[in-house]
Chains A and B, each alone.
Chain A
Amino acid sequence: MAIPIYASPAERAWQYAYRVICAAIFIFLVAPILIIIPLSFNAEPYFTFTKEMLSFDPEGYSTRWYDSLLTLGMQAPENVRDASWWSDAWNNATWIKATKNSLIVGFWATILATVLGTLAALGLSRPEMPYRRVIMALLISPMIVPIIIIATGLFFFYSNPCGIAGFSCGRLTATYIGLIMAHATLGIPFVIITVTATLSGFDQSLIRASASLGANPRVTFFKVIMPLILPGVISGALFAFVTSFDEVVAVLFIAGPEQQTIPRQMWNGIREAISPAILAVATLLVIVSISLLATVELLRRRSERLRGVTPG
């Protein structure tokens, strides 16, 4: 990006302006995410920097909003913080319940999406796969179709899943299973995309080499294919997990009071009265996303190294 020596003064000026513009855009991208971190430690219930905060007066900062995340919904939040207080928080605190739900649903949705998605990606990357293009388009479409349409469809379908066959067999709304299936559906396109991308650099002759050396398909899969595509599978799984972890519309439509997740609680908080407690949750989620991002980046580089592609 060095400025070439033949550049005219006007071009030099433009180069500097260009860098300023880019810096401004990077600030636009990241600043809104980072600004909530200091604000979540505000001692006052305001959403802007108080005088005390700007002068770095410790009085201006507090962890009261983080504390309120624990106490909201507890039976007896004002008691002494002994073992029974913590068990009360663990069982009753609204945000802890929401976290449990998010983890349960996210975990199983990820497993489902990753297993089904990886198998399908293996099939799709074979040159013999019939109707490849159409099927691929179909499997990616949950990412493209507006979520409100998917959620609406699921709301009716889950109300009476067997209705389509003409009989009744209970329902899937307000169940964990239903929500897990919905989130898996939304996560599948990400698994397909990342795993097929990894497989596109995969040398198919390795499979024949493995077979010619006497390995059966199962051994070939676990000893040859899996280690090579694992980074792609894991980043696909992370994408699927994040999709579920961040999803609110399907939860709004098909979850019951027992399946309230973190985004669902945030949705309530933002719509009714945003208190700095929301900022505390947001800060914790930003930390989660930074660590997930770091994981994916490391995996991507490892995968490229393994496949002999230069990093970048």
Chain B
Amino acid sequence: MKKLLILSTALTLVGFSARAELTVMSWGGAYGEAQTEAHVKPFAAKSGIATVMVDSDNPATPIKAMVEAGNVTIDVASVEYADAIRLCDEGVLEAIDASTLPAGADGVPATEDFLPGAITECGVSTDIWANIYAYDTTKITGTVPTVVADFFDLEKFPGKRGLRKGAKAVLEFALMGDGVAPADVYATLGTPEGLDRAFAKLDSIKSEVVWWEAGAQPPQLLADGEVVMTTAYNGRIFNAAVGEGKPFTIVWDGQIYENEMYVVPKGAPNKDAAMEFIAFATSTEGLQAQAQQISYGPARKSANATEILYKDGKTVMGPNLPTAPENLANALETSSTFWVDKDAELNERFNAWLATN
């Protein structure tokens, strides 16, 4: 007993002394790893500030709860564009002074170097990513899916589908699958009939859907053969396909892309270090380092000026990014204004739809 006590006390001390100084919350899986390799580790090495990465299904969710409860345990979070705006509106985020961001490698000031919209009051973009759908080429042979409507065609392509459990991107995807042109998607979704139309489209495949929540799940679902095709974040599929040699193919038709933002929750325990981290991570080099890890497009012109190679040293990233011209043929940019206002309402409807019938 006495020995146990001593051991435990020693362990307690170990536990308390190993406090990290800066905590970054991201999406786990391949994306979390990419940000760990490209931002967290180099930042810790350069600044001497111990930095750790923690995972969440969607970092925007815990932030709000943490701030409103006065309970902030993280310093930096990686959130979707609409969430960055909504959380900022709600006073949950610290404002970020854009003038503190470093100029591009070519000397152009940050405010001009970043792509339009990539710097907001409370967030700085790290990359542009997309919701796409992908399939396993060993499972679907012969005729392969090429357009978004194929995802909803159970006769042509029988088998299970993976979809993210949530309203955002799923409703747009359903409408595009139903033949709505990207330019009309949000106008349609804004009407009750349009919303019903989206749910009706989802109804047509509901019995075959496997719902995923964490971004790491879809490649796993494909690999395990649990689904024949699934929506996913494009970088996750790219990393599984190119990085791990999985036989996955991305269908870019009907992709829905947006900016990913680094934000600082209000009351972050290490606000100054958090700002320093963001400046470091969103520098030209920081963005390029991340793009070498995962196929999301850097949000700075200077970071796109030179060709970026994947960490395998041979795959050119350009054609694999959501922003490649050939991938933008039938693509939709997420409307942050739409989701800032409608997120709560549509998720309520979505949940009722999911749990009942």
Contacts and interface: CB of A to CB of B under 8 A. Distances in A.
Contact of B217 (A91, A155, A173, A273): A273
B69 A174 contact: no
Contacts of B18: 91, 97, 258
A97 to B, nearest CB: 8
B4 interface: yes
Contacts of A272: 28-29, 55, 214, 216-217, 220
Given A176-B15, A268-B55, A273-B216, A155 B69 contact: yes
B240 to A, nearest CB: 10
B14 A258 contact: no
Nearest to B56: A268
Contact of A257 (B4, B16, B20, B29): B20
Contacts of A103: 8, 11
A160 B69 CA distance: 8
Contact of A104 (B11, B65, B70, B73): B11
Contacts of B15: 100-101, 104, 176, 258
Nearest to B29: A272
A173 B12 contact: no
A286 B69 CA distance: 37
Contact of A159 (B52, B57, B70): B70
Nearest to A168: B70
Contacts of A258: 15, 18-20
Given A100-B14, A272-B216, A273-B216, A257 B73 contact: yes
A107 B20 contact: no
Contacts of B14: 100
B220 A257 contact: no
A173 B71 contact: yes
A38 interface: no
Nearest to B214: A272
Nearest to A271: B214
Interface string B110-145: 000000000000000000000000000000000000
Contacts of B57: 271
A174 B70 CA distance: 12
B69 A107 contact: no
- B contact residues, range: 20 to 34
Nearest to A100: B11
A104 B8 contact: yes
B88 interface: no
Interface in A148-162: 155-156, 158-160
A239 interface: no
Contacts of B8: 103-104, 107-108
Given A104-B15, A107-B8, A176-B16, A271 B70 contact: no
Given A257-B52, A272-B220, A159 B11 contact: no
B32 to A, nearest CB: 10
B106 interface: no
A310 B137 CA distance: 67
Given A101-B15, A268-B55, A107 B73 contact: no
Chain B CB count within 10 A is highest, among A156, A158, A159, A274, for A159
Chain B CB count within 10 A is highest, among A91, A101, A104, for A104
Nearest to A254: B71
B23 A257 contact: yes
A227 interface: no
Contacts of A176: 12, 15-16
Nearest to A163: B70
B29 A174 contact: no
A171 interface: yes
A256 interface: yes
A174 B11 contact: no
Contact of B73 (A91, A100, A173, A268): A173
Interface in A232-261: 256-258
B51 to A, nearest CB: 11
B4 A107 contact: yes
A171 B16 contact: no
B213 A271 contact: yes
B281 interface: no
Contacts of B220: 272-274
Nearest to A90: B14
B228 interface: no
Nearest to A97: B18
A159 B74 contact: no
Interface string A90-106: 01000001001101100
B54 interface: yes
B88 to A, nearest CB: 22
Nearest to B19: A258
A174 B268 CA distance: 13
A112 to B, nearest CB: 13
Nearest to B71: A159
A256 B268 CA distance: 13
Interface string B52-65: 10110100000001
Given A104-B11, A104-B15, A268-B55, A273 B69 contact: no
Contacts of A107: 4, 8
Given A268-B55, A271-B213, A257 B74 contact: yes
Contacts of B219: 273
A156 B69 CA distance: 7
Interface string B71-90: 10110000000000000000
Nearest to B70: A159
Given A100-B14, A258-B15, A273-B217, 10 more contacts: A100-B11, A100-B15, A103-B11, A155-B71, A171-B70, A171-B71, A258-B19, A272-B28, A272-B216, A272-B220
Interface of B: 4, 8, 11-12, 14-16, 18-20, 23, 28-29, 52, 54-55, 57, 65, 69-71, 73-74, 213-214, 216-217, 219-220
6 contacts: A257-B54, A268-B55, A271-B57, A272-B217, A273-B217, A274-B220
A-B pairs with the 10 shortest C-beta distances?
A273-B220, A159-B69, A256-B73, A272-B216, A159-B71, A107-B8, A174-B73, A257-B54, A272-B214, A173-B71
